[in-house]
């Protein structure tokens, strides 16, 4: 029986042009640059312009990716868009992107696992390909987080930014694990739902004058519980996936963590005994772009020429839900 491996053959990123600095935020809320940098590691983030949406950013990243890997959009079997900020509740942003890029043969859907959306999407696409059902899947993490931020709440508005990252997943006729996606893990803990959420706009609190007046359509977070759960969850899942695959820190060329907070990244990196050059960070320039953080980091590695064939990449993330995910990939 034929066995398939899932190769990631390319990665691209797209960010809005507008830069929102910590100095800009000082004029908007009671905060300052030193407070933001010391607690998060963020210095700037990108903010979408009017008319820039999750689908426009995602489609731009997808077109850039198809050019990079020299693939026709008609070859794409499926499109998965990881996002918590779709253009609208219905239809999916994936369907809108499909039309924008001309991938007329592709099935499409959005996936919401918050900041772990890209990793959950990668695990899902990997299963589609390894079963032999599909051979070409476009996976996009795209967010316009500024659309759900309360710029009067300094605990959340300093953290997030907008952007999109895309990867092209392709079936390869080699033994699973020898190349491409080696393994993925996914966990969820719904008891943490109360600590990071957007209360308004769903079936519990449909949009109304009351929900708007109470600012219920913006992200709300209790930083302490989220921070503790993130450090514990990301370190635990990274250790588990390495142990499961008989690997150690010395086997890892690059660690690509979700870009939520530099202190979380540092805690995980120290637990894994990783060297600074192994850890990939773009948080300082783009903030937390939620489902887009990991693919945009991969794109930087590709663009810099560092992510050559055979490199081992460990990815890990944590997000609202709570969700937690990890992936091991042998690139190329």
Q: Is 258 one of the catalytic residues?
A: yes
Encode pLDDT of 194-219 as tens digits: 999 999 999 999 999 999 999 999 99
In this prediction, residue 178 carries a pLDDT of 63
What pTM was computed for the model? 0.96
State whether 312 and 192 are in the same domain: yes
Residue 128 has what pLDDT?
A: 96
Percent of the chain as helix, strand, coil, to the nearest 5: 40, 25, 35
Catalytic residue among 95, 116, 288, 324: 288
CATH code of the domain containing 262: 3.40.47.10
Q: What does pLDDT average to over the chain?
A: 95
Q: Do residues 106 and 249 both lie within one domain? A: no
Q: Tell me: the pLDDT tens digits for 37-88?
A: 999 999 999 999 999 999 999 999 999 999 999 999 999 999 999 999 999 9
- Whether residue 279 is predicted with pLDDT greater than 90 in this model: the reply is yes
User: Domain end: 130, 145, 172, which one?
Assistant: 172
**238 shares a domain with 165:** no
Last residue of a domain, one of 119, 148, 172: 172
Tens of pLDDT, residue by residue over 116-148, are 999 999 999 999 999 999 999 999 999 999 999
Residue 245 annotated among the catalytic residues of the structure: no
Judgement on whether residues 164 and 290 belong to the same structural domain of the protein: no
Residues 140-192 have pLDDT tens digits of: 999 999 999 999 999 999 999 999 999 999 999 875 556 799 999 999 999 99
Q: Is there a catalytic annotation at residue 288?
A: yes
Q: Looking at the structure, do residues 134 and 265 belong to the same domain, yes or no?
A: no
Of the three residues 138, 172, 206, the one that is the final residue of a domain is 172
Same structural domain, 213 and 288 = yes
How many structural domains compose the chain? 2
> Which is catalytic among the residues 258, 268, 297, 324?
258
Structural domain that includes position 266: 180-330
Q: Are residues 29 and 168 in the same domain?
A: yes
Q: What is the rounded (10 degree) CA torsion for 313, 299, 81, 228?
A: 60
The answer to whether residues 309 and 216 belong to one domain is yes
Q: Same domain, yes or no, for 249 and 187?
A: yes
Is 195 found in the same domain as 161? no
Q: Considering 95, 115, 268, 324, which one is annotated as catalytic?
A: 115
Do residue 184 and residue 226 come from a single domain?
Answer: yes
């Amino acid at each position: 029986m034929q066995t398939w491996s899932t190769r990631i053959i390319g990665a691209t990123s797209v960010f809005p042009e507008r830069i929102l600095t910590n100095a800009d935020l000082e004029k908007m809320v009671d905060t300052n640059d030193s407070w933001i940098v010391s607690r998060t590691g963020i210095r700037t983030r990108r903010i979408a312009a009017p008319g820039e949406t999750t689908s426009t950013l995602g489609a731009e990243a997808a077109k850039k990716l198809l050019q990079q890997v020299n693939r026709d959009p008609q070859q794409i079997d499926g499109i998965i868009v990881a996002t918590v900020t779709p253009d609208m509740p219905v239809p999916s942003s994936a369907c809108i992107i499909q039309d924008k890029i001309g991938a007329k043969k592709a099935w499409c859907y959005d996936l919401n696992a918050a900041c772990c959306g890209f990793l959950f999407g990668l695990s899902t696409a990997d299963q589609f390909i390894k079963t032999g059902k599909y051979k070409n899947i476009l996976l996009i993490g795209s967010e316009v987080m500024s659309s759900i931020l309360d710029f009067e709440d300094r605990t959340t508005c300093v953290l997030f930014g907008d952007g999109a990252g895309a990867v092209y997943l392709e079936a390869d006729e080699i033994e699973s694990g020898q190349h491409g996606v080696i393994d993925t893990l996914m966990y969820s803990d719904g008891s943490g739902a109360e600590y990071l959420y957007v209360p308004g706009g769903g079936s519990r609190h449909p949009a109304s004058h009351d929900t708007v007046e109470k600012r219920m359509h913006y992200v709300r977070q209790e930083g302490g519980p989220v921070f503790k759960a993130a450090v514990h969850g990301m370190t635990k899942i990274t250790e588990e996936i390495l142990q499961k695959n008989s690997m150690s820190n010395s086997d890892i060329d690059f660690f690509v963590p979700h870009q939520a907070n530099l202190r979380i990244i540092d805690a995980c990196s120290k637990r894994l005994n990783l060297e600074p050059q192994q850890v990939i960070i773009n948080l300082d320039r783009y903030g937390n772009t939620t489902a887009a953080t990991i693919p945009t980091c991969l794109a930087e590695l590709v663009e810099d020429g560092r992510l050559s064939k055979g490199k081992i990449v460990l990815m890990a993330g944590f997000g609202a839900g709570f969700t937690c995910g990890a992936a091991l990939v042998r690139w190329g």
